[in-house]
Structure 1
Amino acid sequence: MRRHPGLPRITLRSLRAVRIVGLLAVLMTTLLPLATPVRAAEDLTMETRALLGGHARVGTWIAISVRLKNDGPAIVGELRLAGGTQGQTRFGTPVDVPSNADQTYVLYAQPPAFGNTLEVILVEGDRTLLSSKVNYQIHDPGQLVVAVIAENPERIVNSVGSLPNRNQVAPLVIGITPEDLPARVEAWGLLDRIIWQDVDSERLEIPQRAALQAWIAGGGRLVISGGTVGPRSMSAFPDTLLPYRPAVTADVPASTLRGILGTLPAAATTLPALTGSLIDGRILASVGDQVVAAERSYGSGAVTILGFDPTVDWIAGTDAARNLWRRLLPERTAGGLTISDDTLLLNAVSQLPALALPPIGGLFALLAAYILLIGPLNYLVLKRLDRREWAWATMPVLIIAFAAGAYGIGAALRGSEVIVHEVAIVRGAPGASEGAAQVYMGVFSPSRTTYQVRVPGGALLSSPIAGDFFGGNVNVAALDILQGDPAGVRDLAVGFGSLRTIRAESSVVIPLVQTDFRLENGRLRGTVTNASDERLDRPAVVLGQTVALLQDLEPGAVATVDIAVQGRQFSTSLADLIVGQAFFDESTANAETSQTFVRRNMVDQLTYDPNFGSTNLLPADGPVVIAWGSATVLPIEIASEEPRYVGDVLYYLPARVRISGPTTFPSDLIRSTAVEADAFFFSKEPQSMSFGQGSVTVAYRPIGFEGTISATAVTINLGYGDEGQD
């Protein structure tokens, strides 16, 4: 083919040059990505482990320790993992790891109810540098969990023989180390009891010691036993917790321990024990003026010191050991305040006048006006103007105008401001100012938008356990949470006129309340003192199904309680007794009816058992002081917004009671546990049981109290009558 005169001449040399340039371009395209600096895998390592041995409950926090060792360039990134009940909430914490650094971070997560693995990833920008999987194990919300921190934990683990709970689930006894205890008390929700023996308490870091004290105040029980180390193992425990400070080791006769061991084994002999002088509390065993064993209450919990070693041969594995541990490690009270189904609290958060349905009368009036405007009025006006042919234009205009007006009315009813509705249950104890708050924060938006949310103080944030039913049409399960102080939620999407709920847990300071209760001759008597500088609204004292309503308590005020204990087969709900009855209609909701609805749901949440439904009993073994407040427990900040706050706070303070004189314990003050069953089938609920051919051994006990008991009669009631068989 002849070359065109206008084209350049192509020679063999030029073709060879073009080929070389093309080959170089291909090589550069291939090798350029390889020239980008890539971190060598051996320069960066990540080790992960779940604290508390990887055990957790639904609704509680699990702490994951992440160790990063960096021998390469510095890293500024983030640790992330997915968790939450739905497994779709992302938890993250920022990391800054310089070159040649060895650092440990802790991530907190809500473990999913189904599954046993969480994956932790380290990201830098959009790149994933490392990932590691962490195993965990979920346990029943009502299961008693005992942690043993000892030099030889297996000796104690094998000797603890506590009774199963009401769901027939045996206690879980695990051996851990001081390093397995989280630095935040929110992640101690798994633990009910701790046994400490022969381990130096100085191994606890300062945040762990503060968490231990808050855990005891919230209802935990710490048992410290003697062993081979001596008094120095307790040096880090403050005198404000200990019943006595062991000073010397002395030999004590076995008969000294009969009060806490019961009948002594035939092989019982003298044994060494740590002794000292009583600081505060109740003596369980003593030799002369020296205390050998004692117990001290702190908040809702207690600390017990056993100066002797309960694992010696003549105690371990005997009835004496079983009696000892069943006394010191009582059954977990229902589900406690561990919430595994928060549907009722979500309903409470959603109760805002801005979310209420419009009045039905207004809707009918709007519909009637629309019909009149489009039909007769439009026709009559056009007829009077003699312009009926304009109907083809006026009707669309009227429809558009009416639609715009209806939209404006709806927007006006919803409001134009961002509202934060806080519903909080704050658990504490009389005589203690430490408390734990479970807060549900509903963010209401008048328009569809995305917010950047901050919570000062470093609260642990998550999505609700039961999901979020009121988040509009957005993907309500996707919460992107950044842990730290302040904690934050990134890009919180809220639909038009909708409410998005965030769950938060944090340690808080609570109003100081003092109580003195006694049960005398079938009447609950005592006093409640508001020793704080805050007013307590509508306080009540609840014992079983007995409710004593008190007047508002101003700072420094004292209220007297004197009410007959009432046992009821078919009784009014506790919400009716504490808050009052309510006939709620969304179309007529106002601030007062909304508050009543919210508070009833909060009380109903406390009496709800995920296995049995409503029990109509608070999760406590003694009297409980309940009071209300409206202060903001956890402040929430929304970027570029000044939200209006609405809140309801329930203070939940389990107290102790002394019992004296002839006392009748009705069924709501009796706890039962199935000890043994050989029946073909067996099922037990709080108020009933069913089983096939065979036998069942059931243990009945009254609520916990200070003092001793001598039973004179037992009445068994079969059916629903008021009289039983002695």
Structure 2
Amino acid sequence: MRKGLLALGLWAFVVGVWSQKPIEIKATPLFGQRATLNSPFPIAIEVRSNTGNLRGVLTVRSAGFGSIREYRYPLELPAGGRKVVVATPIVSDYTSSFEILFEGGRHRVSVRQEVQPLGETDTLVVNVGDLIGGLQNLTRIPNRRKTEWGGLSQSGKYQPAYCMPEYFPESALALGGVSVVILHPGAERLNAEQWNALRQWVALGGVLIVPGGAGALYLQVPALRSILPVQPEQLIQAPRLPALGAFAQSRPLNQPVSLTRARVLKGSRTLLRQGELPLIVARPYGLGAVIFLAFHPAEEPLRSYTGIDGFWKALLRHAPDLPPSQTVNRVFAVQSGFTQDQFGWNPQPNLNVETKIELPSLGLVFTLLALYFFLVVPVNYWVLKRFRALDWAWITTPLIALVFVGILARFTAHLYRKPLSANIQSVLIMPVGASEAYAISSALLFFPRAGLYDLQFDRAELVESGTLSSFVRRGGDLMEVLGTLEGDPKVVQDYRVRNLSFQWFRYTRYVELGGHLEAQLRLKPVGRRWQLEGTIRNRFPFPLRQVELHVGDRILYIHDLEPGEGHFVRETVSQKVPPQVARPREVDPWMLRAYSDVASFNDIISLAREEWVQSLPEVSVAYLTAETSEPVLAPSLRDAAQSKARNTLWISIPVEVSNEK
């Protein structure tokens, strides 16, 4: 009997070991399978080794129409160990799944992760904390109308997702497709890197909703308190909330509610109060906003409140619903020179940057080709036939070709003597008072000679090549593969170029500027108009050129500011917000939204201002833009390259609104 049990146990052990896979891959989407189009799709990938030590490469691959994008992560796995990688592949037009592949030694294991792109008009809302479910009613709430096509207005829905604090990403890039984040109990477990990513995401255009109440321990986290519109003081019990009924356009809440009493900070606006107690307070931060709630709407008695749908509908109308990835895409579109006119969308980028490289004109090339064919076919044939020497055509035709090749070479020979050069355009987004900016850069590189090149991008979060949408790639082209070696720095290896070719690279990164902008602005009524007053001072170590201040429906032109120089602003503006109703964005359903509604950087500023008009008209914010040639955010190459930079600072400044005349 004992021998039988021993044999059975030994057999079970052998079968278990034999059936165990040497490499296991588990993919977990951080925000579920739904993803915003043209935005990162964060995936936590766990690779486990059930064999000996392994060194390999984890590849996340997405295939589009005419292109393949690969993200490569070098991994070293100890025996029996595991590694977790958070990958952020981009969801493009034709993405339905991602292939996740690990290759190391003799092992090759792959899995496939499905993805469901959201519609153009849908909005992704991420709930961070221990709450799983409970906010399905958000799917019943339509968001603000976003498109107008054929005279019909279209609106989408809010799509909720849930994320445990342990799985929340540590980079703002992974949050690029998220429009709204709501904190819940348990969010206090976020680490410093996660809080920093959340702050950076708000600065890029995200909306953070911070509820109070009995379980809001996260209100004590210093990283969150630095961007809150209030100073939390104490927890109190309110017998009822009649003000909430008016806000939700429903019956008053006549049950006791736990509230967080807080003091409203300067630069913030109270959207709802009950007596002297602020219930909803908003404050701009960067391109986004932080909204504080004195109560928690996902907990009782608010959760079962009959007017909860009306409350969420009213509250989310105060949240700009475009994710930060749309701002990044718009900036890329302007930098690349995409245009849209009455004849449709032009996918070819305009080389509207100063390259100092003169290419032969198309007229000259066509003239030479026409002259060549004219000499080779009718003239050559007629002359040889006249002299009865048609047998000489095999000599005269190549000679004529060599002559025209020599003529064309005379016009292009100087291009081969040009050095490898890069022209970089960057938009640096930052809130006032900050010294770190988020750089959205596009580099136009000129390669005089063909070959394989390695490009290195320091501190980069995102690196992409080219500007054409996968929708407009020529079907006859070979499949294009772009692979980046992920990490810091990111490296594009063995990038193949042709002779005399221009190549676009798009990338984002954080950069320390070594200074900040100091500004205080205030709006006060003067008669029936508003007067803007305040000071602006350049604390950067470099001068600011072409300084403009966008406030309300006005653009105020300010003189150039040298380091340490200030400027006093006193201007009369018509209103604190643009008087006209913001128009819906017209979207071609066949093209990317980010590429169809902007033609210049001022259009991006205007659209950002319209978002504030539609969502938070009570909160005023101004945008300062300025040109500078520093810093030069060029990719590094092994070959010597000449680089020229043109940077645009985009700084958001909260405006205090005073009712004192």
The residue that corresponds to 2:44 in the other structure is 65
Once the two structures are TM-superposed, the CA of residue 423 in structure 1 deviates from its matched residue by: 2.1
Residue matched to 1:327? 315
The 5 A counterparts of 1:309-708 are 309-311=296-298, 312-313=300-301, 316-319=304-307, 322-323=310-311, 326-327=314-315, 330-332=318-320, 336-339=326-329, 342-346=332-336, 347=349, 351-353=353-355, 356-358=358-360, 400=402, 403-404=405-406, 406-413=408-415, 415-464=417-466, 466-467=468-469, 477-509=480-512, 512-513=516-517, 514-516=519-521, 518=523, 520=525, 521-522=528-529, 525-527=532-534, 528-543=536-551, 546-559=554-567, 560=569, 562=571, 564-565=573-574, 604-606=599-601, 620-621=611-612, 623-632=622-631, 634-639=633-638, 641-657=639-655
SS in structure 2 of the partner of residue 62 of structure 1? coil
Question: Corresponding residue for 1:175?
Answer: 162
Determine whether 1:42 maps to 2:21. yes
Question: Residue 198 of structure 1 is aligned with which of 185, 188, 194?
Answer: 185
2: CA distance between counterparts of 1:606 and 1:274? 41
Give the partner amino acid of 1:496: N
- 1:342–1:605 Cα contact (<8 Å) kept: no
Confirm whether residue 108 of structure 1 aligns to residue 88 of structure 2.
Answer: yes
Deviations 1:177-211 (A, max 9, x none): 22342211012111122111222412x23321110
The answer to whether the aligner puts 1:273 opposite 2:259 as a matched pair is: yes
1-side partners of 2:331 and 2:290: how far apart? 31
**Is the strand fraction higher in 1 or 2?**
2
SS in structure 1 of the partner of residue 546 of structure 2: strand
1:169 is paired with a residue whose SS is coil
Deviation at 1:512, TM superposition (A): 2.4
Q: 1:51 maps to what in 2?
A: 30
In 1, Cα distance between the equivalents of 2:608 and 2:658?
A: 23
1:216 matched to which residue of 2? 202
CA distance in 1, matches of 2:204, 2:511: 12
Equivalent residue for 1:15? none
Q: Is the 8 A contact 1:75 1:98 kept in 2?
A: yes
- Whether the aligned pair in 2 keeps the contact of 1:214 and 1:434 (CA below 8 Å) is no
TM-score after normalising by structure 2: 0.73
> Which secondary structure state, in structure 2, belongs to the residue aligned with residue 410 of structure 1?
helix
Residue among 148, 173, 188 paired with 1:186: 173
Structure 2 SS opposite 1:158: helix
Shift of 1:105: 1.4
Partner SS, residue 109 of structure 1: coil
Structure 1's unaligned 5+ residue stretches are: 1-37, 371-391, 570-600, 662-706, 708-726
AA aligned opposite 1:77: G
User: CA deviation digits over 1:561-584, x for unaligned, max 9?
Assistant: 626559899xxxxxxxxxxxxxxx
1:604, CA displacement in angstroms? 1.8
Given the two structures, how large is their TM-score scaled by the length of structure 1?
0.67
Aligned residue identity for 2:633 = L
SS of 2:21 mapped into structure 1: helix
Deviation (angstroms), 1:138: 1.6
Letter in 2 for 1:327: L
Q: Does 1:137 align with 2:125?
A: no
Q: Is the 8 A contact 1:425 1:652 kept in 2?
A: yes
Q: Is 1:252 aligned with 2:255?
A: no
Could you tell me how far 1:444 is from its partner in structure 2? 1.1
Given that 1:241 and 1:303 are in contact with CA atoms closer than 8 Å, whether structure 2 keeps it comes out as yes
- Structure 2 counterpart of 1:638, which letter? L
Q: Determine the C-alpha separation between the residues in 2 that align with 1:615 and 1:283.
A: 22
- Identity, in percent, stands at 18
Partner of 2:294: 307
Equivalent residue letter for 2:571: D
The amino acid of 2:320's aligned partner reads: R
Looking at structure 2, the residues matched to 492 and 602 of structure 1 have their Cα atoms a distance apart, in angstroms, of 32
SS in 1 for 2:42: strand
Please give the per-residue CA displacement for 1:47-93, whole angstroms capped at 9, x wherever unaligned.
11222223322332222211111121111111112237645121111
Counterpart secondary structure, 2:327: coil
Question: Which is worse superposed, 323-332 or 217-226?
Answer: 323-332
Change (3 A) 1:568 1:643: farther
The corresponding residue for 1:596 is none
Give 1:95 shift: 0.7
In structure 2, C-alpha distance between the alignment counterparts of 1:617 and 1:249, rounded to whole Å: 36
Instruction: Give the distance between the partners of 1:565 and 1:344, measured in 2 at CA.
Output: 29
The residue that corresponds to 1:682 in the other structure is none
Using a 3 Å threshold, how does the CA distance of structure 1 residues 524 and 121 change in structure 2: closer, same or farther?
farther
Whether the 8 Å CA contact 2:332–2:506 is kept in 1: the answer is no
Relative distance call for 1:421 and 1:654 in structure 2 (3 A) is same
Deviations 1:669-702 (A, max 9, x none): xxxxxxxxxxxxxxxxxxxxxxxxxxxxxxxxxx
What code does the residue aligned with 1:484 have?
G
Contact 1:81 1:90 in 2 (8 A): yes
Structure with bigger RCO (C-alpha 8 Å, 6+ apart): 2
Aligned residues: 571
Alignment deviations for residues 147-204 of structure 1 (CA, whole Å, 9 cap, x no partner) = 12244453344268463332311222223222342211012111122111222412x2
Mapped to 1, the partners of 2:279 and 2:62 lie a distance apart of 47
1:636, CA displacement in angstroms? 1.1
Query: What amino acid is aligned across from residue 98 of structure 1 in structure 2?
Result: P
* Conserved 8 A contact 2:213-2:295: yes
Equivalent AA in structure 2 for residue 647 of structure 1: A
CA contact (8 A) 2:465 2:482 kept: yes
Query: Counterpart amino acid of 1:131?
Result: S
Shift of the 495–305 alpha-carbon distance from structure 1 to 2, 3 Å rule, reads same
Q: Which residue of structure 2 aligns with residue 386 of structure 1?
A: none
Q: What is the one-letter code of the residue matched to 2:448?
A: P
Tell me by how many angstroms 1:539 deviates. Answer: 1.9
Match of 1:592 in 2: none
Task: Give how far 1:214 is off.
Answer: 0.9
Query: SS state of the match for residue 479, structure 1?
Result: strand
C-alpha RMSD of matched pairs (Å) = 4.5
Q: How does 1:7-18 map to 2 (within 5 A)?
A: none
The AA in structure 2 aligned to 1:643 is A
Q: What CA distance in whole angstroms lies between the structure 1 residues aligned with 2:520 and 2:473?
A: 40
Q: Indicate how the Cα distance of structure 1 residues 529 and 323 shifts in structure 2: closer, same or farther if over 3 A, else same.
A: farther
Matched residue of 1:539: which SS?
Answer: strand
2:99 and 2:62 map into 1 onto residues whose CA distance is 9
For structure 2, the 5+ residue unaligned runs are 1-16, 148-154, 337-348, 373-393, 581-595, 613-620
Per-residue deviation, residues 294-336 of structure 1 (Å, max 9, x unmatched): 4444333333333323243467554476246523652436675
Deviation at 1:653, TM superposition (A): 2.9
